[in-house]
Amino acid sequence: MKPDAFENLCRWADDFDIELSGDQVAQLKSYVSELGSWQGKINLTGLHSKDRILRELLLDSLLPLLHLPLSGRLLDMGSGAGFPAIPLKICLPRVTFHLLEPIGKKVAFLGHVIRMLGLRDIRVIRARIEQSGGRILPGNYDMVTSRAAASLPQLIEWCAPCLKEEGVLVSFQGTSWKEHVEGCSEIMARHHLVLSRSLPYSLPGENRERAILFIIKREG
């Protein structure tokens, strides 16, 4: 990795008002380094450029930080190589994380990284959300996160039952996020969900707008 790669990450994070401690940067470096080592053996992510991994996966995963509680229980649906769950866990040590991932090789990588980094209050569940049975209890989570695991309507169907009242679904969306939200009004109402915040942004070096949606569950 280029010596200045993580200097760029810290500068980008600072541009979004995200402050990373020295210990957090060290853990993120170890995580990305291990990801690179495993990429040579199994396909964990479609990105192989370290610069793109830092921008499009790692930085992107950190962007919800300022809008998340510092404690509680979080479910990450379709964790893959660990984005956004591992970066968020590094920065939110008091939150309990459950990582849901069906593919065995990715589950093995996640377990290895968790042990290597010494992360606590985090476990990996090998399952699809629709087949998770009693391993994921309804109404048990303060937060549910997902990056590109499903369309927004499907994501709502799967994840809304997992949320506590006042729990938040955090969904990473691409350029058509406004149309996706407009098309979900009926399904959101059925699940007692309200869009509480949208966070539009563009990643460094990109012109296209993305957004992170914060969708809150309100039974009343």
Residue 153 has what pLDDT?
A: 92
Residue 161 has what pLDDT?
A: 93
Give domain limits for the chain.
5-217
Are 35 and 83 in contact by the 8 Å Cβ rule? The answer is no
Residue 111 has what pLDDT?
A: 97
Task: Identify each DSSP E strand in 4-94 by its residue range.
Answer: 72-77
**pLDDT tens per residue, the chain (220 residues)?**
444 678 889 999 999 999 999 999 999 999 999 999 998 788 898 877 888 899 999 999 999 999 999 999 999 999 999 999 999 999 999 999 999 999 999 999 999 999 999 999 999 999 987 776 667 878 899 999 998 767 899 999 999 999 999 999 999 998 888 898 999 999 999 999 999 999 999 999 888 999 999 999 997 6
Residue 134 has what pLDDT?
A: 67
Per-position b or e across 96-131, b if 16+ CB within 10 A of its CB: bbbbbbeeeebbebbbebbeebebeebebbbeebee
Asked whether the bond before 3 is cis by omega within 30 degrees of 0, the reply is: no
Residue 220 has what pLDDT?
A: 62
CA distance 45 to 52: 11
CB atoms within 10 A of CB 149: 21
Residue 110 has what pLDDT?
A: 97
CA distance 198 to 196: 7
Task: Specify the pTM.
Answer: 0.94
CATH topology for the 5-217 domain? Rossmann fold (3.40.50)
Residue 4 has what pLDDT?
A: 66
